[in-house]
Amino acid sequence: MVSSTEIPILLLGDSGVGKSTFLSRLSVGHKHTGPLPVLRDLDQPYPFNITSQHQKFRLEFSDTSSPTNYTLLQPSVVILCYSIASPTTLDNLQNHWKRVLETHFNYNSTIPVIVLGLQRDARSREDYDGRVRRPAPADDDEDDPKAVLNGRTIVYPQEALRVAGEMRCDRYCECSALTGDLCLQVIEDIAATARATTTAEGGQSKNPHCEIM
Protein backbone atom coordinates (compact mmCIF):
# COMPACT_ATOMS: atom_id res chain seq x y z
CA MET A 1 0.00 0.00 0.00
CA VAL A 2 1.40 3.38 -1.05
CA SER A 3 1.57 5.83 1.84
CA SER A 4 0.41 9.43 1.50
CA THR A 5 2.80 12.36 1.56
CA GLU A 6 1.86 14.62 4.47
CA ILE A 7 1.82 18.36 3.78
CA PRO A 8 1.14 20.70 6.74
CA ILE A 9 -0.83 23.86 5.93
CA LEU A 10 -1.36 26.75 8.35
CA LEU A 11 -4.18 29.30 8.22
CA LEU A 12 -3.41 32.68 9.82
CA GLY A 13 -5.74 35.65 10.27
CA ASP A 14 -7.93 37.52 12.72
CA SER A 15 -10.44 35.68 14.87
CA GLY A 16 -13.87 35.57 13.26
CA VAL A 17 -12.81 35.90 9.62
CA GLY A 18 -14.16 32.43 8.80
CA LYS A 19 -11.17 30.09 9.03
CA SER A 20 -13.09 27.41 10.95
CA THR A 21 -16.11 27.70 8.64
CA PHE A 22 -13.83 27.28 5.64
CA LEU A 23 -12.34 24.11 7.11
CA SER A 24 -15.83 22.85 7.94
CA ARG A 25 -16.84 23.38 4.31
CA LEU A 26 -13.81 21.40 3.13
CA SER A 27 -14.85 18.50 5.34
CA VAL A 28 -18.25 18.12 3.61
CA GLY A 29 -17.59 19.41 0.10
CA HIS A 30 -18.72 22.42 -1.91
CA LYS A 31 -22.10 20.89 -2.91
CA HIS A 32 -23.26 20.27 0.67
CA THR A 33 -26.44 22.28 1.38
CA GLY A 34 -27.11 21.39 5.01
CA PRO A 35 -25.64 22.89 8.18
CA LEU A 36 -21.86 22.79 8.33
CA PRO A 37 -20.34 20.59 11.04
CA VAL A 38 -18.57 22.12 14.01
CA LEU A 39 -14.92 21.10 14.07
CA ARG A 40 -13.12 20.69 17.37
CA ASP A 41 -9.90 22.64 17.82
CA LEU A 42 -8.45 19.68 19.73
CA ASP A 43 -8.72 17.57 16.56
CA GLN A 44 -6.24 19.74 14.68
CA PRO A 45 -4.58 19.22 12.32
CA TYR A 46 -7.60 18.38 10.17
CA PRO A 47 -6.63 15.85 7.47
CA PHE A 48 -7.84 15.98 3.88
CA ASN A 49 -6.72 13.19 1.56
CA ILE A 50 -6.27 13.95 -2.13
CA THR A 51 -4.85 12.21 -5.17
CA SER A 52 -2.97 14.30 -7.71
CA GLN A 53 -1.08 13.01 -10.74
CA HIS A 54 -1.38 9.44 -9.42
CA GLN A 55 0.16 10.44 -6.10
CA LYS A 56 -1.56 10.43 -2.72
CA PHE A 57 -1.26 13.45 -0.44
CA ARG A 58 -2.56 14.13 3.04
CA LEU A 59 -3.14 17.86 3.56
CA GLU A 60 -3.06 18.64 7.28
CA PHE A 61 -4.74 21.96 8.10
CA SER A 62 -4.13 23.90 11.31
CA ASP A 63 -5.09 27.43 12.31
CA THR A 64 -4.41 29.83 15.16
CA SER A 65 -6.62 27.75 17.50
CA SER A 66 -4.33 24.74 17.20
CA PRO A 67 -3.76 22.86 20.50
CA THR A 68 -0.06 23.18 19.65
CA ASN A 69 1.06 26.81 19.71
CA TYR A 70 0.72 27.77 16.07
CA THR A 71 4.01 29.70 16.13
CA LEU A 72 5.79 26.39 16.77
CA LEU A 73 4.34 24.66 13.72
CA GLN A 74 6.37 24.22 10.54
CA PRO A 75 3.92 24.49 7.65
CA SER A 76 4.79 23.82 4.03
CA VAL A 77 2.12 26.31 2.93
CA VAL A 78 0.79 29.40 4.75
CA ILE A 79 -2.66 30.85 3.99
CA LEU A 80 -3.32 34.41 5.17
CA CYS A 81 -7.08 34.74 5.68
CA TYR A 82 -9.24 37.86 5.87
CA SER A 83 -12.96 38.57 5.75
CA ILE A 84 -14.32 40.29 2.65
CA ALA A 85 -17.00 41.68 4.98
CA SER A 86 -14.37 43.47 7.11
CA PRO A 87 -11.77 45.80 5.53
CA THR A 88 -9.98 45.95 8.89
CA THR A 89 -9.07 42.28 8.66
CA LEU A 90 -7.35 42.91 5.32
CA ASP A 91 -5.40 45.80 6.84
CA ASN A 92 -4.36 43.49 9.67
CA LEU A 93 -2.77 41.09 7.20
CA GLN A 94 -0.30 43.85 6.38
CA ASN A 95 -0.01 45.38 9.83
CA HIS A 96 0.13 42.23 11.97
CA TRP A 97 0.04 38.85 10.28
CA LYS A 98 2.79 39.59 7.78
CA ARG A 99 5.05 40.37 10.74
CA VAL A 100 4.00 37.12 12.45
CA LEU A 101 4.83 35.26 9.26
CA GLU A 102 8.26 36.87 8.95
CA THR A 103 9.07 36.38 12.65
CA HIS A 104 8.01 32.79 13.24
CA PHE A 105 8.15 31.14 9.82
CA ASN A 106 11.39 32.51 8.40
CA TYR A 107 13.12 29.13 8.63
CA ASN A 108 12.29 28.46 4.99
CA SER A 109 12.29 31.24 2.40
CA THR A 110 10.54 29.00 -0.13
CA ILE A 111 7.23 28.63 1.75
CA PRO A 112 4.42 29.66 -0.62
CA VAL A 113 2.01 32.22 0.85
CA ILE A 114 -1.61 32.44 -0.31
CA VAL A 115 -4.02 35.26 0.56
CA LEU A 116 -7.55 33.89 0.95
CA GLY A 117 -10.60 36.14 1.08
CA LEU A 118 -13.46 34.53 3.02
CA GLN A 119 -17.16 35.46 3.31
CA ARG A 120 -17.37 36.28 -0.39
CA ASP A 121 -21.15 36.20 -0.14
CA ALA A 122 -20.95 39.61 1.61
CA ARG A 123 -20.56 41.28 -1.78
CA SER A 124 -23.51 42.14 -3.98
CA ARG A 125 -23.56 41.69 -7.74
CA GLU A 126 -22.76 45.34 -8.49
CA ASP A 127 -19.52 45.02 -6.55
CA TYR A 128 -18.08 42.91 -9.39
CA ASP A 129 -18.46 45.39 -12.25
CA GLY A 130 -14.87 46.61 -11.90
CA ARG A 131 -15.67 50.03 -10.44
CA VAL A 132 -14.75 51.14 -6.94
CA ARG A 133 -16.94 53.74 -5.24
CA ARG A 134 -15.21 57.10 -4.84
CA PRO A 135 -13.86 58.06 -1.42
CA ALA A 136 -16.12 60.13 0.80
CA PRO A 137 -15.51 63.92 0.49
CA ALA A 138 -14.51 64.07 4.16
CA ASP A 139 -11.45 61.91 3.55
CA ASP A 140 -8.18 63.74 4.06
CA ASP A 141 -6.60 62.39 0.88
CA GLU A 142 -8.82 61.23 -1.96
CA ASP A 143 -5.77 59.92 -3.82
CA ASP A 144 -4.79 57.59 -0.99
CA PRO A 145 -5.49 54.02 -2.24
CA LYS A 146 -6.18 53.01 1.36
CA ALA A 147 -8.75 55.77 1.89
CA VAL A 148 -12.01 54.64 3.49
CA LEU A 149 -14.69 54.26 0.84
CA ASN A 150 -18.04 55.95 1.17
CA GLY A 151 -20.38 53.55 2.93
CA ARG A 152 -17.96 50.69 2.49
CA THR A 153 -18.48 47.55 4.53
CA ILE A 154 -16.70 45.17 2.16
CA VAL A 155 -13.35 44.64 0.48
CA TYR A 156 -13.30 44.95 -3.31
CA PRO A 157 -11.44 42.27 -5.32
CA GLN A 158 -8.98 44.78 -6.78
CA GLU A 159 -8.18 46.13 -3.31
CA ALA A 160 -7.33 42.71 -1.94
CA LEU A 161 -5.21 41.79 -4.96
CA ARG A 162 -3.26 45.04 -4.55
CA VAL A 163 -2.57 44.27 -0.88
CA ALA A 164 -1.54 40.70 -1.69
CA GLY A 165 0.87 42.06 -4.29
CA GLU A 166 2.31 44.61 -1.87
CA MET A 167 2.99 41.81 0.61
CA ARG A 168 4.70 39.82 -2.17
CA CYS A 169 2.40 36.88 -1.65
CA ASP A 170 2.39 34.16 -4.26
CA ARG A 171 -1.32 33.77 -4.92
CA TYR A 172 -4.72 35.29 -4.22
CA CYS A 173 -8.08 33.53 -4.10
CA GLU A 174 -11.47 33.94 -2.42
CA CYS A 175 -14.62 31.97 -1.71
CA SER A 176 -17.74 31.71 0.43
CA ALA A 177 -17.64 28.78 2.83
CA LEU A 178 -21.27 29.52 3.73
CA THR A 179 -22.62 28.98 0.21
CA GLY A 180 -19.79 26.88 -1.19
CA ASP A 181 -19.17 29.45 -3.95
CA LEU A 182 -15.65 28.94 -5.43
CA CYS A 183 -14.69 26.54 -2.61
CA LEU A 184 -13.94 23.74 -5.06
CA GLN A 185 -11.64 25.99 -7.07
CA VAL A 186 -9.90 27.23 -3.92
CA ILE A 187 -9.18 23.77 -2.52
CA GLU A 188 -7.97 22.60 -5.94
CA ASP A 189 -5.57 25.53 -6.11
CA ILE A 190 -4.40 25.02 -2.53
CA ALA A 191 -3.86 21.34 -3.27
CA ALA A 192 -1.87 22.17 -6.41
CA THR A 193 0.30 24.59 -4.45
CA ALA A 194 0.80 22.04 -1.67
CA ARG A 195 1.72 19.31 -4.15
CA ALA A 196 4.23 21.63 -5.81
CA THR A 197 6.09 22.01 -2.51
CA THR A 198 7.12 18.36 -2.85
CA THR A 199 8.84 19.02 -6.18
CA ALA A 200 12.21 20.56 -6.99
CA GLU A 201 10.50 23.67 -8.37
CA GLY A 202 8.62 24.33 -5.13
CA GLY A 203 5.23 25.95 -4.61
CA GLN A 204 6.12 29.62 -4.91
CA SER A 205 4.84 31.61 -7.85
CA LYS A 206 7.23 32.00 -10.78
CA ASN A 207 5.41 35.20 -11.68
CA PRO A 208 6.88 38.37 -10.10
CA HIS A 209 3.30 39.49 -9.47
CA CYS A 210 0.72 37.84 -7.19
CA GLU A 211 -1.23 35.23 -9.16
CA ILE A 212 -5.03 35.17 -9.11
CA MET A 213 -6.24 31.64 -8.46
Q: What is the pLDDT of residues 168-177, one digit of tens each?
A: 999 999 999 9
Backbone angles phi, psi at 44, to 5 degrees: -65, 145
**Residue spans per domain, the chain:** 5-133+141-212
pLDDT, greater one: 92 or 138: 92
Backbone angles phi, psi at 11, to 5 degrees: -100, 125
Which of 60, 56, 66, 62 is CA-nearest to residue 47? 60
CA 107/CA 6 separation, integer angstroms: 19
| CATH T-level topology, domain 5-133+141-212 | Rossmann fold (3.40.50)
Q: What is the pLDDT of residues 135-165, one digit of tens each?
A: 445 444 545 544 444 456 799 999 999 999 9
Over residues 85-106, mean pLDDT: 96
